[in-house]
Amino acid sequence: TQSTRPQRLLHAVQKNATRGDPRSVVKAIDNFCRQKEWAMNVGDEKGCILDSVVSEVNPVTVLELGTYCGYSTVRIASLLPPRAKIITLEFNPDYAKIARQVIAWAGLEDKIQVVEGPSGEWIPKMKEQFGVKTFDLVFLDHWKDRYLPDTKLLEDCGLLRKGSILLADNVICPGTPDYLEYVRNSPRYKSQYFKSHLEYTKAEDGLEKSVFLG
Ligand SMILES: Cc1ncccc1-c1cc(O)c2nc[nH]c(=O)c2c1
Ligand SMILES: [Mg+2]
């Protein structure tokens, strides 16, 4: 039976990356996507912007919406302080299965919790299920039509505090116009656009960083 692209990406990690070395896992995925097959990881160019925001925020609790194969999960977790944790939500069980193995290869299982299912159902359960009070950083990288409803849900569930940071991928390509309009015009956010390119291509894309003002 034919393998899937996520399976081929995992095999590239297991072949080319060093167990327990997150940076080598990131490098192996970027090389696979540049030399073999494009895949929708945040990639190395936008990944550097992600790294700088994570390092600046130094978050203790992180929520990632959209795990895919775990590339950005590994990138973020490798920069977290010792007791910090990241909860990453993935709707697609096949993606979640691959992501768990990529995360294990990087040796970051203790910092990462992969949760399967729809973000709209899991966000209201965060406090009771995972003992989360508020998130210091939320990385939105799942489905463009869910960015705005999930952001409103995070607000309504009291999961954001004054100073929480939302960082959103793909605000240009595929594009999230309703989300952009909201965070750029709402008095409750201070927003900033980081222009970049769609992963592994020359097409424009970028990350939108929005600070929740409370
Ligand atoms: C798949 C695709 N094709 C052409 C252009 C962009 C994309 C694309 C790129 C991404 O970084 C994505 N991240 C999260 N979720 C997505 O659906 C997604 C889609
Ligand atoms: Mg993306």
- Supply angle C-alpha 148, 154, 156, rounded to 5: 100
If you take atom 15 of ligand 1, which residue's CA is the nearest one?
A: 142
Span 181-193, pLDDT tens digits: 999 999 999 999 9
> Is this structure's pTM higher than 0.95?
yes
163 lines ligand 1 (CB under 6 A): no
169 is catalytic: yes
40 lines ligand 1 (CB under 6 A): yes
If you take atom 10 of ligand 1, which residue's CA is the nearest one?
A: 40
% of the chain at pLDDT higher than 70: 100
132 lines ligand 1 (CB under 6 A): no
pLDDT of residue 64: 99
Q: What interface predicted TM-score (ipTM) does this complex get?
A: 0.99
Q: Are 139 and 62 in contact (CB under 8 A)?
A: yes
Identify the CA nearest to 31 among candidates 73, 71, 60, 88. Answer: 71
% of the chain at pLDDT higher than 90: 98
174 lines ligand 1 (CB under 6 A): yes
Q: Are 117 and 126 in contact (CB under 8 A)?
A: no
pLDDT of residue 15: 98
Q: H or E segment at 115?
A: strand 112-116
Q: Give the span between the Cα atoms of 189 and 203, in whole angstroms.
A: 27
Structure token pair of residue 43: 């990639």
* Average pLDDT, integer, range 64-90: 98
Would you put residue 168 in left (φ > 0), alpha (ψ -120 to 50) or beta?
A: beta
pLDDT of residue 1: 80
170 is catalytic: yes
In angstroms, what is the span from residue 198 Cα to ligand 2's centroid?
8
Q: H or E segment at 87?
A: strand 85-90
Rounded to whole angstroms, the maximal C-alpha distance in the chain is 53
In angstroms, what is the span from residue 139 Cα to ligand 2's centroid?
10
Residue 180 has pLDDT above 90, yes or no: yes
Span 7-58, pLDDT tens digits: 999 999 999 999 999 999 999 999 999 999 999 999 999 999 999 999 999 9
How many secondary structure helices (H) and strands (E) does the chain include? 9, 7
Structure token pair of residue 79: 């920069």
In angstroms, what is the span from residue 88 Cα to ligand 2's centroid?
14
Q: Give the span between the Cα atoms of 212 and 99, in whole angstroms.
A: 29
* Average pLDDT, integer, range 78-86: 96
Residue 101 has pLDDT above 90, yes or no: yes
Q: Are 191 and 157 in contact (CB under 8 A)?
A: no
Q: Give the span between the Cα atoms of 12 and 196, in whole angstroms.
A: 26
Q: What is the mean pLDDT of the chain?
A: 98
Hey, is 202 helix, strand or coil? Answer: coil
